[in-house]
Structure 1
């Protein structure tokens, strides 16, 4: 009696298990990025023919500054992630004194087709973190990200942790230069905004940075959960957490160097740190052209 080959449906049902295994591997990976074909360490990556290769570069064993960039995204936005990967890989090298790791952040991938494709993406690029939450924008995903980071990277903490979106172009060397002279504790940095006359700025959701001690506090602050403060506009909620706790005393407002791209796409700045609302390929192409990304790509070996 011959055995039947597993059906394609069977493989799809196994995909979520594959994703969970990959999550464990990705979140446990040594931050050297060795063997990763993904973003890894920005200061040592170059894009070549659609892949990534390591370019040796002298750097201290312990960097002066380390930064984790978490890009919140959704499983179905694969084309967007490929564009974002190129956007980071084709930037000038991060200064040798800094270390920057970039990861795409999902909640649990429940759709079997998405799970199969995300598992392949994670295996190929090595730049994906999957959190134990239901995919959402303003229903706790940001809290899940910040509260998970101290556990996932407990063996090698970062100085700073950033949250940004997949429709934002972050110029990493510019941000690193901003962070270099900042304290390493109680830092809350981004595009500052006041709400209802509150003199304490909260940082717009396009992208903000917290020092490791603040992220560690979020992971242990029972009052956030007790107030159900994980639900609501994620940037407002984070501002509320730090304001009520009297934290984030070292606040840095980077506007106008962080901003939304306007309707006419004519407000780009040469000193940009981050530009947001890149919702379609035309907007990405405009940004790439302005910052000479395509010209840089043409000179790669």
Structure 2
């Protein structure tokens, strides 16, 4: 079927092999984390093609579900976009994080989509390999016009692009998180389920200057769709050059100056940094941060019984 192209903007670019060769924008659609559709095979692909000076979009997708199957599927109570900000060369880390999400229990009656978010991929080797990831997994978003540095505007580019990228199917909430954070999706969905759908700012709150949580820790925070939409149009952020600096503090500054995100929720201590000794895991964890190497990821998987019951069989020579 044919779809209209989204409004063009130089603030974002979606990466795919055709984009690398033809500079066309391409979106790969990721299944939601709601049970049977977690896998990445049989993805529908939204591909750009140019004709007569216009840009149209065609969709190649798996066979449509039957009416009965659609009726049986539960309508989600909430929807959440999780943007994992990462860097092109961190291939092994992304493989681990993908498994961390794919192997989790489904979040009941929630649509949760995960995207790995890059700035412009300029290295030709990375461009080819990231393109392969996009083809295989369908979860790559590349932002144009930002540097691959957390404190030089990447978070602003992400939050301001989301309302345009997903204008046809808005989410209730948008999350920014990192590739060293283990997010337990069902626990977060449960936290969001009873919250308002507007003016929300939720995460690990920092106390500062007598205020209980003027900003949320960069390990991962959630804003409602209307807040992300406001960021995308807030010219004052750019006028003040407030995209430069510690990204989590800057997000709090934007919202505080504009009186946005007034429904604030602190998930401490269920969101936390893993200690040096890796001995402070909590059974009620929503997100644990500082998983900087494979040893720490393995400790998290062990604590949360991700691989419980799995035995590795060694063949004798």
Give the secondary-structure state (helix, strand or coil) at the position aligned to 2:27: helix
1:135-284 pair list within 5 angstroms:
135-284=148-297
Give the secondary-structure state (helix, strand or coil) at the position aligned to 2:26: helix
Give the secondary-structure state (helix, strand or coil) at the position aligned to 2:198: coil
* Residue-by-residue CA offset, 1:139-193 (whole Å, 9 max, x unaligned): 0000000000000000000000000000000000000000000000000000000
Report whether the alignment pairs 1:126 with 2:138.
yes
> Contact 1:19–1:119 (CA<8 Å) still a contact in 2?
no
- Alpha-carbon spacing, 1:277–1:20, altered in 2? closer, same or farther (3 Å): farther
Give the secondary-structure state (helix, strand or coil) at the position aligned to 1:208: strand
Match of 1:78 among 91, 100, 114: 91
CA shift at 1:198, angstroms?
Answer: 3.8
Q: Distance in 1 between matches of 2:101 and 2:302?
A: 14
> Contact 1:90–1:293 (CA<8 Å) still a contact in 2?
yes
Give the secondary-structure state (helix, strand or coil) at the position aligned to 1:235: helix
Q: CA RMSD in A?
A: 2.2
1:28-43 pair list within 5 angstroms:
29=29, 33=30, 40-43=31-34
Structure 2 stretches lacking a partner, 5+ long: 1-16, 44-68, 312-317
TM-score by length of 2: 0.80
Give the secondary-structure state (helix, strand or coil) at the position aligned to 2:34: helix
CA shift at 1:66, angstroms?
Answer: 0.2
Q: Distance in 2 between matches of 1:123 and 1:20?
A: 16
Q: Distance in 2 between matches of 1:200 and 1:230?
A: 20
Give the secondary-structure state (helix, strand or coil) at the position aligned to 1:43: coil
TM-score by length of 1: 0.84
CA shift at 1:45, angstroms?
Answer: 4.5
Higher strand share: 2
Give the secondary-structure state (helix, strand or coil) at the position aligned to 1:136: coil
1:3-152 pair list within 5 angstroms:
17-18=20-21, 21=24, 24-26=26-28, 29=29, 33=30, 40-45=31-36, 58-61=72-75, 63-95=76-108, 97-132=109-144, 133-152=146-165
* Residue-by-residue CA offset, 1:38-69 (whole Å, 9 max, x unaligned): xx211134778xx7689x894334x2100000
